[in-house]
Structure 1
Amino acid sequence: MKVRHLVLTSAFAGVERHVAVLANEQARMGHTVEVLGGDPAAMRLRLHRGVKRSAASGLPATALRFVLASPVDLVHAHMTAAEAAALPTRALRGTPVVATRHFAAPRGSGMKGRLVRSLLGPRVDAQISISCYVAGAIDGASTVVYPGVEAVATQDVARRPVVLVVQRLQPEKRTDIALRAFAAGAPEGWCLEVVGQGPELAGLQRAAADLGIAERTTFLGFRDDVAQLMRSSAVLIAPCDIEGLGLSVLEAMAQGLPVLASDAGAHPETVGRATEAQLFRPGAVAEAGAMLARLCEDADLRARYGEQLQTVQRTTFTPRAQAEGTEAVYQEVLG
Structure 2
Amino acid sequence: MTGMPRTQAHAEHPIAAARPVIVHVLDEFGVGGMETVALTVIARTCDRYSHRVLCLRGRGVRADRAEALGVPVEALGKRPGKDVAAYLRLTRRLRALRPAIVHTYNIGALDVAFWARLAGVRRIVHAEHGRDVSDPQGSNPRYRWMRRVLAPAISRFVPVSADLERWLVDEVRVGRARTQLIYNGIDTARYTPSESEIGIDRAAPDLVACDILFGTVGRLDPVKGFDTLIDAFAEACAAEGDQRLGLVIVGDGPARAALEARVAEYGLADRVRLPGSRDDVEAVLRDLDIYVCSSVAEGVALTILEAMASGLPVVATAVGGNPELVAPERTGMLVPSGDALALAEAMRSLAAAPETRRAYGEAGRARVCEAFSVAAMTDGYIRLYDQLLGD
Deviation for aligned residue 1:43: 3.7
Correspondence for 1:45: 65
In structure 2, distance between residues paired with 1:157 and 1:66 = 51
In structure 2, distance between residues paired with 1:92 and 1:170 = 35
Correspondence for 1:55: 74
In structure 2, distance between residues paired with 1:286 and 1:89 = 48
The partner residue of 2:163 within 123, 133, 155 is: 133
Deviation for aligned residue 1:153: 3.6
Correspondence for 2:233: 182
Q: Deviations over 1:229-274 (max 9, x none)?
A: 1121111110113111111112212222222111222110112387
Identity of aligned residues (%): 24
Paired residue total: 331
Q: Tell me the TM-score normalised to structure 1 length.
A: 0.86
Counterpart code for 2:184: P
Report if the CA contact (8 A) 1:25-1:319 is conserved: no
**Do the aligned partners of residues 40 and 242 (structure 1) sit closer, same or farther apart at CA in structure 2, a change above 3 Å counting?**
closer
Matched, 1:31 2:68: no
Correspondence for 2:25: 6
Counterpart code for 2:284: L
Counterpart code for 2:127: T
What residue ranges of structure 1 are gaps of 5+ in the alignment? Answer: none
Report if the CA contact (8 A) 2:313-2:332 is conserved: no
Deviation for aligned residue 1:83: 4.1
Report if the CA contact (8 A) 1:157-1:231 is conserved: no
Report if the CA contact (8 A) 1:66-1:86 is conserved: no
After TM superposition, the structure 1 stretch with the greater mean CA deviation from structure 2, 281-290 or 317-326, is 281-290
Deviation for aligned residue 1:123: 0.7
In structure 2, distance between residues paired with 1:89 and 1:225 = 37
What residue ranges of structure 2 are gaps of 5+ in the alignment? Answer: 1-18, 79-85, 203-211
In structure 2, distance between residues paired with 1:278 and 1:227 = 22
The partner residue of 1:147 within 178, 184, 190 is: 184
After TM superposition, the structure 1 stretch with the greater mean CA deviation from structure 2, 230-239 or 194-203, is 194-203
**SS of match in other structure, 2:24:** strand
Deviation for aligned residue 1:162: 1.8
Report if the CA contact (8 A) 1:264-1:282 is conserved: yes
**Do the aligned partners of residues 118 and 293 (structure 1) sit closer, same or farther apart at CA in structure 2, a change above 3 Å counting?**
closer
**SS of match in other structure, 1:16:** helix
Correspondence for 1:95: 122
**Do the aligned partners of residues 86 and 11 (structure 1) sit closer, same or farther apart at CA in structure 2, a change above 3 Å counting?**
same
Structure with the greater alpha carbon radius of gyration: 2
In structure 2, distance between residues paired with 1:304 and 1:46 = 38
Deviation for aligned residue 1:46: 5.9
The partner residue of 2:356 within 298, 301, 307 is: 301
After TM superposition, the structure 1 stretch with the greater mean CA deviation from structure 2, 297-306 or 95-104, is 297-306
In structure 2, distance between residues paired with 1:101 and 1:149 = 18
**SS of match in other structure, 2:46:** helix
In structure 2, distance between residues paired with 1:97 and 1:137 = 20
Correspondence for 2:83: none
Counterpart code for 2:93: R
Deviation for aligned residue 1:98: 0.9
Deviation for aligned residue 1:13: 2.0
Counterpart code for 2:233: F
Deviation for aligned residue 1:177: 1.9
In structure 2, distance between residues paired with 1:241 and 1:55 = 32
In structure 1, distance between residues paired with 2:106 and 2:112 = 10
Correspondence for 1:17: 36
Report if the CA contact (8 A) 1:8-1:56 is conserved: no
Counterpart code for 1:195: V
The partner residue of 2:372 within 288, 293, 317 is: 317
Q: Deviations over 1:107-142 (max 9, x none)?
A: 99566x577446522211111001112223343142
Deviation for aligned residue 1:67: 1.1
Report if the CA contact (8 A) 1:130-1:144 is conserved: yes
Report if the CA contact (8 A) 1:21-1:148 is conserved: no
**SS of match in other structure, 1:272:** coil
**SS of match in other structure, 2:193:** coil
Q: Tell me the TM-score normalised to structure 2 length.
A: 0.75
Report if the CA contact (8 A) 1:164-1:193 is conserved: yes
Correspondence for 1:163: 214
In structure 2, distance between residues paired with 1:80 and 1:207 = 31
Report if the CA contact (8 A) 1:273-1:312 is conserved: no
Correspondence for 1:123: 153
Deviation for aligned residue 1:34: 3.2
Deviation for aligned residue 1:164: 0.9
